[in-house]
Amino acid sequence: MDLGSTFFYKYRRFIKALKIYLLLAGPGLIVMLADNDAGGITTYSVTGATYGYSLIWFLLLLLPVAYVVQEMTVRLGAVTKRGHAEAIFDAFGPFWGWFSFLDLTLVNWLTLITEFIGMTAAMSIFHIPPVFTIAIVTVVMLLMVLQGRYWTWEKIAIVFAVLNLIYIPAAFLVHPSVGEVIGQGFIPHFPGGLDNTLFFFLMANIGTTIAPWMIFFQQSAVVDKGMKEKDIPFGQMDTLIGSAFTVIVAIFVVIVSGTVLYGMQVDSAAQAATIMMGIDPWLGTFVAIGLFDAGFLGAICISLSSSWAFGEVFGWAHSLNFKIREAPWFYACYLFAILTAGAVVLIPEAPLVLITLFVQVVAVTLLPAALVFLILLLNNEETMGKYKNTHAQNIAGIVIVAVIIVLSTLFGISTLFPGLFGAGGGL
Amino acid sequence: MEQVVVYSMIRIEHIFGIRAGGIIRGWTDKITEINRKYATPKIKMSRGVKFALLILRVYLIILVVLLGYKFWTMLQEGVI
């Protein structure tokens, strides 16, 4: 074969693989970009305002953390054709099944409230009243699922996921010094030493990387999409690309806030956007849109993960490929979650800060269980066959899961007892 | 045993009315069915699995105690 033919052959193979990937891409990309939800953006914004670029290197470590955990859900979903809630019931019995399911329902609902808080705060910057924001968001979220096809929902969700990248052009607006970003951000160090405040921030950043709903969402999405064992490599690639994007977005959020807000007292992403609006309206607009989109992405994924879990456990039809009349309970759960979470945000003087903090505490009751079950299920040769975890995957998985459990638990406890680590707000 | 079941049926409908009682009955029946369906854990209960589940139980008990302590201190401080 001559050089031209070889090149053409390789080009055709690449294009074919790319087409298959684009067909199969979705759950990994969406879940990872939705990981940068309203709470995540707030964490990164406050991190940037407090430590400048100094913790960018730490965010890079979150890529393998996110990938190793979420990749396991791809294999589990593709091989067992079951969502995580159903898999826990089946493998560990009713006690752990109900515990995980009820805890997930509570954590998801509370997290959904925080997403609505983020969205309404972002739109308030444009003087849009919260009631109007919630009404529009509810209608759009309903229209997204009611069209009756998983594929269409996924492609719309990817559009919103791509909008999450708005922080990249926002970073170009603030003209950061590339030398400073590389010099301060990419060389591992602990600015000012590993004191209590820094430890709190490290815990918060790890804590926001993996949330219980992500595990349940991606596994159910893989099942709903109909991915098979042969699609696992594409699902893994999808998850890897998603993990890279989630870290890139996190880094750019830190760059933006680290450039503009470094040294300022910032408590939330909405406050950061408001300050930036005063500095440069374009920058403020970008950041506010980013915050709204982050909340929206989180909301669509979280509400779906709850609905899927309900369907799996109660044996109802639970697929986005069904029409309302075919899966009424599935859509009823979805609508109920959105309406009640939105309504809480609209209650005058509702304890929204308390709810935001409470989410972190409740999440640590579920996250360790969900992660441990994930590792155990991936080691079950009877169901996983040749797709079970290898020794290397187990070592990586166990180390990462142990680190996540320890740090997220300490983060949750520090929220309960704020004086413990000397920083951060608490209940 | 049958008498107990009949008695509980009467009580649910008696307390909540026929319509609401019927809905509650539907849910409790569904939960019982789920509990029966998954009564036997399918995963092989090796020593590793048992140990992991034991650790999880201990972890959750500690968390519940901490949450209870926090709730108690908030009550003492008059926050709640």
The answer to whether the CB of A60 falls within 8 A of the CB of A54 is: no
In the predicted structure, residue B10 carries a pLDDT above the cut 70: no
Contact (CB<8Å) B38/A416: no
Residue A396 has which token pair?
A: 């990586």
Q: A233-259 pLDDT, tens per residue?
A: 999 999 999 999 999 999 999 999 999
Contact (CB<8Å) B74/A427: yes
**Minimal Cβ distance to A372: which of B35, B52, B63:** B52
Quick one: CA dihedral A211, A171, A52, A419, positive or negative?
negative
- The three-state secondary structure class of B61 is helix
> Which of A40, A54, A42 lies closest to A258 in space, CA to CA?
A54
- Please indicate, yes or no, if residue A11 is contained in any of the structural domains: no
Nearest-angstrom CA–CA distance, A209 and A158: 19
Residues 6+ apart with CB under 8 A from A62: A205, A206, A209, A246, A247, A250
Give B-chain residues touching A417 at CB under 8 angstroms.
70
- Please indicate, yes or no, if residue A1 is contained in any of the structural domains: no
Contact (CB<8Å) B67/A361: yes
Residue A208 has which token pair?
A: 């926001």
Higher pLDDT, A24 or A299: A299
Q: Rounded to a whole number, what is the distance in Å from the CA of A91 to chain B's nearest CA? A: 4
Give B-chain residues touching A364 at CB under 8 angstroms.
63
Question: What's the pLDDT band for B39 if we cut at 50, 70, 90?
Answer: very high
The answer to whether the CB of A231 falls within 8 A of the CB of A78 is: yes
Written as one string, the DSSP assignment of A370-427 is HHHHHHHHHT-HHHHGGGSPPHHHHHHHHHHHHHHHHHHHHHHHHHHSGGGSS-S---
Q: A29-40 pLDDT, tens per residue?
A: 999 999 988 888
pLDDT of residue A410: 83
State the Rg of chain A over Cα.
Answer: 21
Number of H helices, E strands in chain A: 19, 0
Higher pLDDT, A350 or A96: A96
Q: Rounded to a whole number, what is the distance in Å from the CA of B21 to chain A's nearest CA? A: 19
Q: Give Cα A110 distance to the centre of its chain.
A: 15
- DSSP annotation of A166: G
- Please indicate, yes or no, if residue A196 is contained in any of the structural domains: yes
**Minimal Cβ distance to B38: which of A94, A314, A427:** A94
pLDDT of residue A131: 95
Contact (CB<8Å) B49/A90: no
Q: A374-410 pLDDT, tens per residue?
A: 999 999 999 999 999 999 999 999 998 888 888 888 8
Nearest-angstrom CA–CA distance, A359 and B69: 18
Domain count along chain A: 1
Question: What's the pLDDT band for A20 if we cut at 50, 70, 90?
Answer: confident
Mean per-residue pLDDT over chain A, rounded: 89
- Please indicate, yes or no, if residue A87 is contained in any of the structural domains: yes
Nearest-angstrom CA–CA distance, A308 and A340: 18
- Please indicate, yes or no, if residue A4 is contained in any of the structural domains: no
- Please indicate, yes or no, if residue A13 is contained in any of the structural domains: no
Residue A309 has which token pair?
A: 């879990």
Q: Is A81 left (phi over 0), alpha (psi -120 to 50) or beta?
A: left
Question: What's the pLDDT band for A263 if we cut at 50, 70, 90?
Answer: confident
Question: What's the pLDDT band for A48 if we cut at 50, 70, 90?
Answer: very high
- DSSP annotation of A347: S
Contact (CB<8Å) B34/A89: yes
- Please indicate, yes or no, if residue A5 is contained in any of the structural domains: no
Phi, psi of A273 (to 5 degrees): -65, -40
Residue A367's domain comprises 28-420
Question: What's the pLDDT band for A269 if we cut at 50, 70, 90?
Answer: confident
Q: What is the CATH number of the domain that holds A403?
A: 1.20.1740.10
Question: From the candidates B38, B58, B67, which should be mutated to test the interface with A, based on the most A CB atoms within 10 A?
Answer: B38
Phi, psi of A127 (to 5 degrees): 60, 30
- Please indicate, yes or no, if residue A141 is contained in any of the structural domains: yes
Question: What's the pLDDT band for B23 if we cut at 50, 70, 90?
Answer: confident
Measured CB to CB, residues of chain A less than 8 Å from chain B are 89-94, 96-97, 99, 313-315, 361, 364-365, 368-369, 372, 375-377, 380, 382-383, 409, 412-413, 416-417, 427
